[in-house]
Amino acid sequence: MPSRSSRPRRGAAVAASLALLAAPLVATAAPANAAEPRVSNPFAGATQYVNDFWSANVEAAADRAGGDLGSRMRAIADEPTAVWMDRISAIEGNADGPGLRHHLDAAIEQKQPGVPMVFNLVIYDLPGRDCYALASNGELKPNATDMARYKTEYIDVIADILDDPAYEDLRVVATIEPDSLPNLVTNISTPDCQASAPYYREGVAYALDALHAVGNVYSYIDAAHAGWLGWPSNGGPAAKLFKEVVLSTEAGYASVAGFVTNTANSTPLHEPFLEDVQLGSTPVRSASFYEWNADFDEADWTAHLYDLLVAEGFPTSIGMLIDTSRNGWGGADRPTAVSTSTNLNTYVDESRVDRRIHRGAWCNPAGAGIGERPQASPAGFPESHLHAYVWVKPPGESDGASSDIPNDQGKRFDRMCDPTFVSPKLSNQLTGALPDAPLAGQWFESQFRMLVENAYPAIEGDGTGGPADTTAPSVPTGLTAGATTTTSASVSWTASTDDRGVTGYTVLVDGAAVGTTSTTSFTVTGLEAGTSYAVTVRARDAAGNVSAASAPLTVTTDEDDGSGGDDQPPSAPTGLRVTGTTTSTVALAWNASTDDTGVTGYRVFRDGTQVAEVAATSFTDTGLTAGTAHVYAVRAVDAAGNLSATSGTVTGETDEDGGQPAGACTVVYSASSWNTGFTGSIRLTNDSAQALQSWTLTFDFPDGQSITQGWSAQYAQTGSTVTVTPAAWNTTLGAGASVEIGFNGSHSGTNDEPTAFTLNGASCTVG
């Protein structure tokens, strides 16, 4: 796996390199404030980012609902929700919403002086994504080519954006790849999950290292939910798998802040009427609904998972997040007391707040409600070591389409989302899914109405539970136009007043809501060049009361004069990487920039000084001294001479002249066994001072094991001897570089590990 540690981040050496890089590009710069030290719980003492595009959907739904329901909808319009990067195009922005930088910039605007701000981000685009369910399949396939795209076009680009000093005061909390690693615990027998397994492991490890290197990112690995991994036969292997993947990173345990459960699911936080573990002499967990799973709820599962992880070696400082966006289960069907029945199944069915027909009914379940509001360090479950309740999946976004909807996102039709389907997985019952659902991630208003109506704790119209507030804020005044471009226009206004306080504003363009803000300014994006628009603003308070619209302000975007008047710079190059080194050269490559009139070339900078201008997206720097490190960056230029922003930086270090002999190596081998099967993982490191342009690894199985399927390399076995040669994408193994490979196999007996490995005929150290 390509090393992320070679990319410089914060620290004295990095600061010096970046200072050199910045010198010829800007005339002056204000001294940067020191980045905040890492904290044990990023949510403690912090506010959280409110996604204005989700809030706009809520506001629009509230307008349509009207009355008390509309008031209750508005009461949660300012709750923080996560921003999902569910495909590569989401990074820059696509038809489903604005890009990552838009949200980060908005978070900076929302940040109060002296108060930390948490920005919740979901990393969700692994090759072979969601290998068991179909509704959230993704754009990348489980193969080496798309694995490379995941790294260079997705993770590297996100990491480079987050590494912008403009965002160093944010605490970025990243939910890492929902449903991926849990599928390898329970669904590895399916062909799709077997094909995805090596890419899940490699991709998650790569993402953890890349994000940890940024400095202010706190990663939480998705850990499914109680109704998936709660059984001891699942929980124990899950903890071991999490350990294996985390220890395969360069940062190890430091790469994770904790784990997040119940993402996009509706398993209750707590089952208050099922505290007793026995009904007479019968274990409650033996009821049909729980199927011998003793973890009835997320409080149980997070406490259980914490103990398992610490037993595996994770630090005791790890924390848990629970997604409570749709697990409230309130409304008229919520039980109010423990059942008096002496029949076990009746007792459980009448006592449980989870009203699903089966715990496996995961897609848009009817009757669900919004749960606890996002909050830091929630009390009541000390054994769970909770960092926060969060809304990872924004309420009102579909879990999957209820019918087949053609799309270009890789999402498929899963019958678990079809309300007419009798599912064998649900004990031959109907799925209980809502009808007329759109694609996963799309706004699903009937679901949102249901979630608000069934919320527990109930949502009060005034947001506080006190006497109803029916007084709307004053109308915003003094709308003023600010800066414009061909596609955007900034506006500002005078603050409204309210008897209980204004909580935010909705901005409308030609009468349609385009976003919300808690400040008195907003930049409207996605406009047409040379076009006039009528902008109005409405204020809202904590009770959801909305003012009348302001007087309209006409704003006109700039004309697009073509290349002759081109003042739009190209996009910054992304994915800058070192592709090879010798004692005197460093080879670089990067992803192409885009421009409205066309990119004509790229300027390459070494240690802050331009050393080349090339037309291609690669360059080899020559004439360097052996054993020296240099910081590289790239800027794109268009026909009008406009320069892009600087790419992320990367460090290229020439090979030492001498040192360890070619062939010196270290191998770390691990295996996870079940019945007569096992998964083997190998981390091979080239300890020599020279890059290997080709390599062959050999070893002997001591216990009659046999490889049945491999990944990230080519495998041949004769008797007990295994010969491993590289895949097309990892033929070169740089000096000091490592590669992760693995395989599935069968065994009998104890499945003892190989004890000796040779690389190109030279013996390796076994780690």
Tell me the per-residue pLDDT of 327-343, one tens digit each, with 9 for 90 and over.
999 888 888 889 999 99
Per-residue pLDDT tens for 275-309? 878 888 889 999 999 999 999 999 999 999 999 99
Q: Which of 367-381, 513-527, 705-719, 735-749 has the lowest mean pLDDT?
A: 513-527
729 pLDDT band, cuts 50/70/90, is: low
* Cβ atoms of residues 181 and 136 within 8 Å: no
More confident residue, 225 or 405: 225
- What pLDDT is stored for residue 518 in this prediction? 67
Cα gap 632→609, rounded to integer Å: 9
515 pLDDT band, cuts 50/70/90, is: low
More confident residue, 430 or 255: 255
Per-residue pLDDT tens for 43-79? 998 999 999 999 999 999 999 999 889 999 999 999 9
Cα gap 61→524, rounded to integer Å: 21
pTM: 0.61
Per-residue pLDDT tens for 123-177? 999 999 989 888 778 899 999 999 999 999 999 999 999 999 999 999 999 999 9
Running DSSP on this structure, what letter comes out for residue 643?
A: B
Q: Round the average pLDDT of the chain to a whole number and report it.
A: 86
- What pLDDT is stored for residue 659 in this prediction? 44
Q: Give the chain's end-to-end CA distance (angstroms, integer).
A: 17
> Residue 540: pLDDT above 70?
yes
- What pLDDT is stored for residue 206 in this prediction? 97
Counted residue by residue, the chain has a size of 767
Per-residue pLDDT tens for 652-690? 888 776 444 445 889 999 888 877 888 888 989 988 877
- What pLDDT is stored for residue 562 in this prediction? 56
- What pLDDT is stored for residue 454 in this prediction? 93
Active site residue 179: yes
More confident residue, 449 or 23: 449
- What pLDDT is stored for residue 194 in this prediction? 92
- What pLDDT is stored for residue 258 in this prediction? 98
Cα gap 220→385, rounded to integer Å: 14
468 pLDDT band, cuts 50/70/90, is: low
* Cβ atoms of residues 720 and 702 within 8 Å: yes
734 pLDDT band, cuts 50/70/90, is: confident
- What pLDDT is stored for residue 223 in this prediction? 97
- What pLDDT is stored for residue 303 in this prediction? 95
- What pLDDT is stored for residue 608 in this prediction? 66
Torsion of CA 185, 395, 128, 574, to 10 degrees: -120
Cα gap 424→89, rounded to integer Å: 36
Task: Spot the catalytic one: 146, 163, 179, 222.
Answer: 179
What percentage of the chain exceeds 70 in pLDDT?
90
Cα gap 362→365, rounded to integer Å: 6
